[in-house]
Chains A and B, each alone.
Chain A
Amino acid sequence: MAEELDKVDVVVVGMGWAGGIISAEMAKAGKSVVGLEKGIDKNRSDYVGVKDELRFDNRYQIMQNLTGHTVTSRNEIDETALPVRTMQNMQLGTDVGGASVHWAGATYRYWPYEFEIRSQTIDRYGADKIPEDMNLQDWGITYDEMEEYYEKWEYTAGISGEQDPLAPERNREWPNPPLKETPSLRLFKDATERLGLHPFQIAAGNLSQNYENPDGEQLNACMYCSFCTRHGCDFSAKSDPLATVIPTAMKHDNFELRTRANVRRVLYDEDSGKATGVMYVDENTGEEYEQPADVVVLAAFAFANNRLLMLSDIGEQYDPETREGVIGRNFNGQYNSAFHGATGFFENEQFNLYMGAGALGAAVNDYAADNFDHSDLDFIGGGAIELRQYGFGAISSSGNVPGDTPNWGQEFKDKSLHYAYRTLTIWYTSIAMSYWHNYLDLDPTYTDEYGDPLLRATYKFGDQERNIAQFGIERCHEIMEEMGADIIEDGNVPEEFNHVYSGGHYTGGVVMGDDPETSAVNSYLQMWDVDNLFVVGGSAFPQFGGHHPTPTIGALAYRAAEGIERYLEDEEQLVKAPGRKFI
């Protein structure tokens, strides 16, 4: 029998960027807050002195242990899904700080077009432009409304950037100047300029200088040590929740963090239609607890947010046969249809590619969003073209060989040593769409350590994914040619999604919108059906934009925090949906 604990104002499930932001904002507002994190306690000192490629890039030290549970995956709705068993194929964040600790830092806002993609596509190209099988949706919020939340997140995080010449004007400048420019980035910028494109330095969550954020947290200047992506930062120089919002929350006595607290159910009262709290297992002891709260916030990874609602039987499960229901609908993300481009091998140049930072890079947005005419193109939307200098370790650098090289033996050794630092890759971060046939539900076969069903992902590409990848590869090839590579190799357009969930960009399933028929939460990420339940994070994306997701998740979390505060005062649905009756 679960032990019932004292009620609090807000219980937050998950301690990544989203949960950290909600916790900090609620703590600052004087609310009693409990933060529950399934993983272990971590702080900045866990990442000091551990610059180790094998441990983090190849053994995925800070990804979620899959022993107890994972996700099952399939392409077709009549296929049997199989579990994704290893961290090579399933990379989820874990522990305090969540996935945000291992993010690279690339910071883009989504475009005004992307928030209203359905309306604007119809306005400009007509409804026929949207394929029949695509669930293309507006977000229920505009860029103008998002501006202040983006800005708030960017200043909390201390982003280092410069104005993208094609992007809408910002109300305030980036809080810090851009990162340094390296020879490889200059090569990209010069080539794209000659091609009439508009290069800029990618805005970075790696700090260009020491910085104190508005909450009084200190971040340090980046050392360009190259251990960023999939690593935690050695110097508190990467903006993540461990350096920003979690310490801010912890300064307040009304915030309590509980780790190894594995939330298994949202508690829901049918009579009142409200969530009453959560049930969790203390993984240290196996004991169960009920944590009552006035407001329940699910702020975990998209997969966990979806699965908790399904296991708790809250909201209507999406059914692809009838295409009704909203929970699990519009599952999407940047899979292997994104990040396709061209690789160049340079015989006469050797770059210091072992130096770098996660978001150190240059990009053009000429082929992003609707910045180019799609009238004669067989896809909609776009993405950035990027060159990134992450800082590459020896293991990964040894893979830089032209495609006709064997991948082992004498010739491999010889060429891999030669090309290790003579190889540059550029890619297109193409938008990823939602379809009626891509969704999440509970798996009928595989269970977790408690016997609860695993989450099942059903995902396949539409023609859009293959067409936009082909377009991106061609544009990247042109740029690489202009950059002067001696050998250019184009990426392959993938036939079908291959069940590799690397990269961390999976979203949807509890999507936001202005219509309860096609969305689960409103623009404050408050559930239409359960007024005191907020579902915050990538799970809210109706489709994936043409850029990396973190800033939008951060901005939406600030938006949700504002909504939660308002809810605690008025205790009502914050958005009046058209056509829906409210008592």
Chain B
Amino acid sequence: MADIGEEKQFSRRDFLKTTGVFTGGILGGSLLGSVFMNQSQMLTDDDPEVSEESTSEDEAQNESMEARTFFSRSEDFETLAAATERIYPEDDNGPGAIALGVPYFIDRQMYGFWGQNSQDYSYGPFEPTSDTHGFQAKLNRGEVFLAGLRRLQELSMEEHDTAFADLDGGAQDELLRSFESGDVEIRGVRPETFFSLLRNATIEGVYSDPAYGGNKDMQGWKMIEYPGPRMGWAEDIESEEFMSLDPEGLRSYQGGGI
């Protein structure tokens, strides 16, 4: 199954390169539009200009969230996207992190209070190398992400002379594992701290409400058979049968729109 995931990921990535999505090229016209439609099972982040079918408000809202508001360099974002896809790859179960909008979810999380650690205790002195007291870095999470992603890219260039995003899945995994096990150094933060932030943020982007820009079209919820927030389950909670329902999000729970 891993092979299928990798194959899809790379065909998708090659496609993005040739059409210039990552390099900022403008898409349009019927030719490219039809290419997009042909690739639609692997491309869920349809460009609004070419995707005539995405007319619902929810989808339009999701698409407008596909812009970077924290990561400046597209190279950092490509590294991030590739790493999240290894953590939650596309496979027979359904889309992976990229198609679910996880890189954009993380971008927004880094821009907000959590990425800036603005509700955490941030006075010194600091002991960033402590391994017993949780997060002790002087860096905030956004800075940890940048430092970690750049170190990931640097090691990829050193060891493979290739950008992390262009490595094959096995090599990407190996590099990620060296961060997970603490075998590399990042100035100011433990590599495990960076990896666990990356891992957890990826999972959150897959499964949190689409209001945050991930879990695109609630496909994360569909895969895991989670129905989303509902008024309640008083009528169903004694049921012996498992209930697998189409998910609904916060937007519909709250009555969406004013």
CB neighbours (8 Å) of A49 from chain B are 253-255
Partner of B242, one of A53, A59, A180, A421: A421
- A85-B226 contact, Cβ under 8 Å, with A224-B237, A410-B91: no
Verify A398–B206 contact, CB threshold 8 A: yes
CB neighbours (8 Å) of B118 from chain A are 67
Partner of A83, one of B119, B121, B211, B220: B121
Nearest Cβ on chain A to B228's Cβ, whole angstroms: 8
Cα(A395)–Cα(B121), bound, Å: 26
Considering only CB atoms, which chain B residue lies closest to A391 in the complex?
B233
- The answer to the question of B234 belonging to the interface, with a C-beta cut-off of 8 Å to chain A, is yes
CB neighbours (8 Å) of B34 from chain A are none
A43-61 contacts to B (CB < 8 Å): 49, 51-54, 58-59
Stretch at the interface among B19-27, B36-44, B60-68, B131-139: B131-139
CB neighbours (8 Å) of A421 from chain B are 225, 242
CB neighbours (8 Å) of A572 from chain B are none
Verify A409–B233 contact, CB threshold 8 A: no
Verify A82–B127 contact, CB threshold 8 A: yes
- The answer to the question of A397 belonging to the interface, with a C-beta cut-off of 8 Å to chain B, is yes
Chain A interface bracket (under 10, 10 to 19, 20 to 34, 35 or more): 35 or more
Interface SS of chain A: loop
- The answer to the question of A66 belonging to the interface, with a C-beta cut-off of 8 Å to chain B, is yes
- The answer to the question of A447 belonging to the interface, with a C-beta cut-off of 8 Å to chain B, is yes
Verify A52–B209 contact, CB threshold 8 A: yes
CB neighbours (8 Å) of A85 from chain B are 117, 120-122, 134-136
Cα(A386)–Cα(B189), bound, Å: 39
- The answer to the question of B182 belonging to the interface, with a C-beta cut-off of 8 Å to chain A, is no
- A67-B133 contact, Cβ under 8 Å, with A413-B89, A421-B225, A421-B242: no
Verify A395–B250 contact, CB threshold 8 A: no
Verify B1–A410 contact, CB threshold 8 A: yes
Cα(A87)–Cα(B238), bound, Å: 35
- The answer to the question of A18 belonging to the interface, with a C-beta cut-off of 8 Å to chain B, is no
Cα(A416)–Cα(B94), bound, Å: 13
Nearest Cβ on chain A to B205's Cβ, whole angstroms: 9
Verify A394–B207 contact, CB threshold 8 A: yes
Partner of B237, one of A51, A86, A182, A416: A182
B183-201 contacts to A (CB < 8 Å): 199
A28-53 contacts to B (CB < 8 Å): 49, 51-53
Nearest Cβ on chain B to A184's Cβ, whole angstroms: 10
Cα(A354)–Cα(B239), bound, Å: 13
CB neighbours (8 Å) of B224 from chain A are 394, 397-398, 416-417, 420
Considering only CB atoms, which chain B residue lies closest to A53 in the complex?
B208
Mark interface residues in A365-404 (1 if CB within 8 Å of B CB, else 0). Answer: 0000000000000000000000000010111011000000
- The answer to the question of B171 belonging to the interface, with a C-beta cut-off of 8 Å to chain A, is no
CB neighbours (8 Å) of A180 from chain B are 234, 237-238
Considering only CB atoms, which chain A residue lies closest to B2 in the complex?
A410
Verify A352–B121 contact, CB threshold 8 A: no
Cα(A499)–Cα(B132), bound, Å: 7
- The answer to the question of B221 belonging to the interface, with a C-beta cut-off of 8 Å to chain A, is yes
Nearest Cβ on chain B to A182's Cβ, whole angstroms: 6
Partner of A87, one of B120, B133, B236, B254: B120
CB neighbours (8 Å) of A416 from chain B are 224
Verify A54–B212 contact, CB threshold 8 A: yes
- The answer to the question of A311 belonging to the interface, with a C-beta cut-off of 8 Å to chain B, is no
Partner of A395, one of B208, B225, B227: B208
Residues of chain A touching chain B, judged by Cβ–Cβ distance below 8 Å, are 49, 51-54, 58-59, 65-67, 69-70, 73, 82-89, 180-183, 221-227, 235, 350-352, 354-356, 391, 393-395, 397-398, 407-410, 413-414, 416-417, 420-421, 445-447, 498-500
Residues of chain B touching chain A, judged by Cβ–Cβ distance below 8 Å, are 1-2, 5, 86-89, 91, 93, 114, 117-123, 125, 127, 130, 132-136, 173, 176, 199, 202-204, 206-209, 211-212, 220-221, 223-227, 229-234, 236-240, 242-243, 250, 253-255
If A49-B254, A414-B93, A500-B134 are given as contacts, then 13 extra A-B residue pairs at C-beta distance below 8 Å, sorted by A number, are A53-B209, A66-B120, A82-B133, A84-B133, A221-B234, A222-B234, A408-B86, A409-B89, A410-B2, A410-B89, A417-B224, A446-B123, A499-B134
